[in-house]
Each structure stands twice: as structure tokens, then as C-alpha cells.
Amino acid sequence: MAFDDRSAFYRPQSAAADMVDAGLRAYMLRVYNFMASGVALTGIVSWLVTYTSLGQVFFTEDALGRLHPAMLAWVAMLASLGIVFGLSAMVSRMQASTAQALFWAYAAINGIWLAAVFSSYTGASVVRVFFITSVAFASLSLYGYTTKRNLDAMGSFMVMGLVGIIIASLVNMFLQSPAIYWISSVAGVLIFAGLTAWDTQKIRESYWLADGSDTMTKKAVLGALTLYLDFINLFLLLLRFFGDRRN
């Protein structure tokens, strides 16, 4: 009887593939859990700043209930910028627990600043846009996770577009042009939609079965930070279109 050695070859391959798939699913679930927890923390802090006396520490309130930043709010903003750049640049030299703590700190400080944004919109419209963003983000991220198409070319184009709208927004601080504001908002939605799919694909590809627990956690934190930023920016841009401003 002839010996067919293909079965001996395929079984280990299948077992290894199953191990990678299980590990990848667990890794991506960890990324999404970190990201969702960060969004939740941002929302809780934002609610506390808006509806409790904590807001008086960071903001002054006008007659329409809109919040305007005080000195401590600007200090918090600078601290958040330092955290996100420091975490991205030095995560390899940190303990995993330190990376997690910095991510939570960044999410909390973001909640302080978002309270000022939310104060300009009705609570019902903020909730509505949050759910719109959640559905859109989940769909885009699922596409980035499952597609076989390499999204690197699209991602590079989106990054260049992001630089462009940042420059346009800075220029428009002086020009105050409604047309530039509208065009940059539309472009921003498209750009962060593309970045969500591309970043998800990059996070998926960053998984390596041989990574140790500490390295895996730090990768998950960085991935969560990337998706968190995509979600928050997409949310804020959609709020411009679908949010109802307070009278």
C-alpha cells in the first residue's frame, strides 16, 4: 500500500493555523476591549465635567451653558499631547502596566476637553451621533480586519490627506471661511473612515504568535490608542453634520 505523506504534512499546518487564528482573535479582542474601555472612560469624565462641579475647575460657563476653557484645561491639553507622543515613541522601553496607565490617563484627559465640545450640542444629538459613529466604525474596522486587499496605498494617501486638512484647519482659524470648514469636515470623515480600515489591518498584521505577554499587551495598547483616535475624530466630524446645536 502506497504511503501518502500529505496527511502527515497538513495536520501540523492545520494545528498551527488554528493556534494562530485563536491567538489572533484573542489579541484583536484585547485591542477592542482596551479601545472601548478608553471611549467609555472618556464619556464618563466628559459627563462628570459637564454635569457636576468638576467642570468649574476646568471651564467657565456662558449664558447658553457652553463651556470655555480655563487655564487648567489648557494645561490638561498639553499634558494629553505629551502622553500620546510619549506613549507612541517610548512604549518599547515601558512596562506594559505603564503603557496601560498612560492610555487611561489620555482617555480621561480627552474627556475633559470633549465636555467643552458637547456643551455646544444637545445631549440627544450627541447620543445619536455616538451610535451612528459606532455602527460606521464597527463596519469599517470589520472590513479592514477581513479584507484580503492590501490597504497600504490607500492608507498612505489618507495620511497625506490628514496632513492637508490639519493645515487647512489651522489656516481657517484666521480666515473663518465656512466653505473651507465644510470641505475639510467632509474630507475628514472620508479620511478617518479610510484610516479606521487601514489601521485595523495594520494591527492585525502586527500580531505575532511568538510575542511574550508583556510585548503583546503593549502592542494591544498601541493598537487601541490608534483605533481610539480614529473613533473620536470620526465622532467629532460626524457631530458637525448631524449634531443639533444649542440655541
- Taking the C-alpha atoms of residue 87 and residue 102, their distance in angstroms, rounded to an integer, is 7
CA 154/CA 202 separation, integer angstroms:
12
List, for residues 109-152, the tens digit of each pLDDT value: 999 989 888 888 988 999 999 999 999 999 999 999 999 999 99
Residue found by looking up cell 493598537 in the block: 223
- For residue 243, give the DSSP letter: P
Instruction: Mark residue 246 as left, alpha or beta (left: phi above 0; alpha: psi -120 to 50; beta: remaining).
Output: beta
pLDDT at position 99: 94
Q: What is the pLDDT of residue 58?
A: 85
* Encoded amino acid at 1, one letter: M
Residue 122 near residue 181, CB atoms below 8 Å:
no
If we measure between CA atoms, which residue out of 201, 226, 206, 207 comes closest to residue 147? 201
Q: Can you tell me which residue has the cell 466653505?
A: 179
DSSP letter, residue 59: E
What was the pLDDT predicted at 8? Answer: 39
What DSSP state is assigned to residue 121?
Answer: B
Model pLDDT, residue 18: 53
Let me know: does 28 contact 204? Beta carbons within 8 Å: yes
Query: Among residues of the chain, what percentage have pLDDT more than 70?
Result: 89
**Which cell numbers in the block locate residue 188?**
475628514
Q: Cα–chain-centroid distance for residue 4?
A: 51
Q: How many independent structural domains does the chain possess? A: 1
Q: Rounded CA gap, 160 and 140, in Å? A: 20
- Domain extent, residue 17, equals 6-242
The reply to whether 119 falls in a domain is yes
Measured on CA atoms in the order 142, 148, 153, 154, is the torsion positive or negative? negative
Helix, strand or coil, per DSSP, at residue 78: helix
For residue 1, being part of any structural domain is answered with no
Residue 9's pLDDT is 36
Q: Is residue 247, in this structure, part of any structural domain at all?
A: no
Q: Give the three cell numbers for residue 158.
A: 489618507
Domain membership of residue 62 (yes or no) is yes
Q: Which residues of the chain have pLDDT under 70?
A: 1-20, 64-66, 209-210, 247
CB atoms within 10 A of CB 91: 19
pLDDT at position 7 = 40
Model confidence pLDDT, tens digit, residues 190-217: 999 999 999 999 999 999 866 788 889 9
What's the CA gap between 237 and 51, in Å, rounded? 23
What residues contact residue 103 under an 8 Å CB cut-off, 6+ apart? 34, 38, 87, 221, 224, 225
pTM of the complete model: 0.88
131: number of Cβ within 10 Å: 9
The answer to whether residue 172 sits within a structural domain is yes
Q: Count how many Cα atoms sit within 13 Å of the Cα of residue 122 in the half-sphere of its side chain.
A: 9
